[in-house]
């Protein structure tokens, strides 16, 4: 069964490459440049009957688009935050947000890679495209075309990612101004629904009511770490112990193997997405004990735990550093692997919020957060977990 499939695939690839050779100008080596960066890929763009075809995967990673492939229909669906483009292999028909359009050259599979028309894809999502005949260079400009103002509010967990992205994009676009403010997920969701920001940030999933007006786009993954003072000898707690500590049922460190000292519970404020996630995933939807001290940001709760010898708190792994100690839960700590595999008990996604379908520069900002550049150079570097 497997062998015959493999054979079939080889025959298919050979057939496709022979048929393509007729139209492909093999002598030309085409360079692909996206936002002034030369894209290195094992698959080079090709010109077929005067149309430049580029590898779909490479382009979408760089542009922050999501791709899904329907094997039965041979259809590739490319989604940016504002546009949905559907190409069909071998067909000159394609759609942009449902509107039918026609190509001069159909997308095709070359050596196992889906190749799509450069100009049609770029223009469909609102990117500018140029082709330089002399240097054989195809250039797409997307994250370098941003102008105007963007106001972003909400989750302090997501704030460092949004701020770093804003700083980078403002360097790349001199007429762009982005302001990023905290306030917590609750405020971010409210502002987005009310239209008082351009983009919101949330570190918790939206409720059914909220999804009626607000759309959430996943831009990073995260683990909520239980943190204690570095001098605390407790290294591990069971999920049940964590629950009882934050509910105020376990009150002394000696009950969980530590020294005889009262546990000082630190928490986030009521609107916090991090608090909502802890209550949802660990506390069976009950509320953190009322005597706990609330802090209004990820940075403040970390500082409090760093300062107080008997404190316990919780924070995004993006904020955790050597000033606090992470306690494992049932011997598991939050890392990229334990969160991605779903093994760590407090893994979650982080979302950028839009009121309906975003447009213009806000849509491009949201796409940037999902791009390979942002995931590699901001999300992972800031200590969060990538979506790729």
Partner 1 sequence: MKLNRVVLIALSLILGIGAMTGCVNKAKLNETLNHVPATVNVIAEQEQVIDQSEVNTILRGSINALPFMLELTQGLPYDITAVGKEAAIEAVNFTEAQLALFDGTLDEAVGLSEIVAYAGVVLIVNPKSGLENITVEEVRGFFTGETQDIQGQNLTLVLPSKALPSRMLFEELFPLKGDINGIQKSLITDAAVTVDTDEAVIQEVANNPNAIGVINVGQINTQVKGLKLEGIEANQSTIVDGTYTATKPIVLMAQASNKEVFHIFIELTKSEKGKTAIKKIGFVPVN
Contact footprint for partner 1 (CB under 8 A):
218, 221, 235-236, 328, 331-333, 335-343, 347, 349, 385-388
Kindly give, in sequence order, each residue whose CB lies less than 8 Å from that of residue 25, ignoring residues fewer than 6 positions away. Answer: 46, 47
Of 255 and 330, which CB lies nearer to partner 1 in the complex structure? 330
Query: Tokens for 166?
Result: 């804003």
Least spacing, CB of residue 334 vs partner 1, in Å: 9
- Phi, psi at residue 270, to the nearest 5°? -60, -40
Exposed/middle/buried for 199, CB within 10 Å: 0-12, 13-18, 19+?
Answer: buried
Q: Please give the Cα distance from 300 to 282 (Å, whole number).
A: 22
The interaxial angle of helices 185-194 and 273-281, nearest 10 deg, is 120
Least spacing, CB of residue 234 vs partner 1, in Å: 13
Of 45 and 347, which CB lies nearer to partner 1 in the complex structure? 347
Least spacing, CB of residue 333 vs partner 1, in Å: 6
Q: Please give the Cα distance from 381 to 165 (Å, whole number).
A: 12
Of 287 and 341, which CB lies nearer to partner 1 in the complex structure? 341
Least spacing, CB of residue 346 vs partner 1, in Å: 13
Query: Tokens for 362?
Result: 């806000």
Least spacing, CB of residue 339 vs partner 1, in Å: 7
Of 136 and 338, which CB lies nearer to partner 1 in the complex structure? 338
Kindly give, in sequence order, each residue whose CB lies less than 8 Å from that of residue 24, ignoring residues fewer than 6 positions away. Answer: 46, 47, 48
Of 35 and 222, which CB lies nearer to partner 1 in the complex structure? 222
Q: Please give the Cα distance from 190 to 154 (Å, whole number).
A: 9
Least spacing, CB of residue 347 vs partner 1, in Å: 7
Exposure string of 42-76, with b = 16+ CB inside 10 Å and e = fewer, is: ebebbbbeebbbbbbebbbbbbbbbeeeeeeeebb
Q: How far apart are the first and last CA of the chain?
A: 31
Least spacing, CB of residue 374 vs partner 1, in Å: 13
Of 115 and 366, which CB lies nearer to partner 1 in the complex structure? 366
Of 102 and 331, which CB lies nearer to partner 1 in the complex structure? 331
Query: If we measure between CA atoms, which residue out of 103, 94, 95, 122 comes closest to residue 49?
Result: 103
Least spacing, CB of residue 61 vs partner 1, in Å: 13
176-183/148-154 β-pairing: parallel
Of 222 and 279, which CB lies nearer to partner 1 in the complex structure? 222
Place of tokens 């500590």: 245
């Amino acid at each position: 069964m497997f062998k015959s499939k493999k054979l079939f695939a080889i025959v298919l690839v050979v057939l496709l490459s022979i048929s393509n050779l007729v139209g492909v100008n093999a002598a030309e080596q085409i360079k692909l440049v996206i936002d002034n960066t030369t894209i290195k890929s094992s698959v080079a763009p090709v010109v077929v009957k005067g149309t430049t075809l580029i590898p779909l995967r490479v382009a979408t990673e760089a542009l922050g688009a999501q791709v899904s492939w329907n094997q039965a229909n041979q259809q590739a669906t490319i989604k940016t935050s504002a546009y949905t483009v559907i190409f069909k292999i071998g067909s000159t028909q394609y759609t942009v947000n449902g509107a039918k359009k026609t190509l001069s050259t159909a997308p095709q599979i070359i050596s196992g890679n889906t190749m799509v028309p450069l100009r049609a894809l770029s223009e469909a999502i609102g990117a500018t495209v140029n082709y330089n005949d002399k240097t054989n260079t195809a250039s797409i400009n997307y994250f370098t075309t941003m102008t105007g103002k963007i106001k972003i509010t909400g989750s302090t967990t997501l704030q460092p990612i949004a701020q770093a992205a804003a700083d980078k994009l403002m360097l790349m676009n001199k007429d762009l101004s982005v302001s990023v403010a905290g306030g917590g997920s609750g405020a971010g969701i409210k502002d987005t629904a009310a239209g008082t920001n351009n983009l919101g940030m949330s570190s918790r999933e939206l409720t059914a009511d909220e999804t009626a007006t607000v759309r959430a786009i996943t831009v990073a993954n995260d683990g909520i770490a239980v943190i204690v003072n570095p001098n605390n000898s407790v290294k591990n707690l069971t999920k049940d112990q964590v629950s009882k500590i934050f509910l105020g049922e376990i009150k002394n460190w000696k009950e969980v193997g530590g020294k005889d000292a009262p546990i000082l519970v630190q928490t986030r404020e009521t609107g916090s997405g991090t608090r909502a996630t802890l209550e949802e995933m660990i506390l069976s939807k009950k509320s953190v004990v009322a005597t706990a001290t609330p802090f209004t940001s990820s940075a403040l709760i970390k500082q409090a735990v760093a300062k107080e010898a008997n404190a316990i708190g919780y924070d995004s792994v993006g904020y955790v550093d050597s000033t606090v100690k992470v306690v494992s839960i049932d011997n598991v700590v939050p890392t990229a692997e334990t969160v991605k595999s779903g093994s760590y008990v407090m893994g979650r996604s982080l979302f950028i919020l839009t009121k309906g379908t975003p447009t213009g520069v806000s849509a491009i900002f949201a796409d940037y957060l999902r791009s390979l550049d942002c995931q590699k150079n901001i999300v992972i570097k800031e200590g969060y977990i990538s979506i790729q």
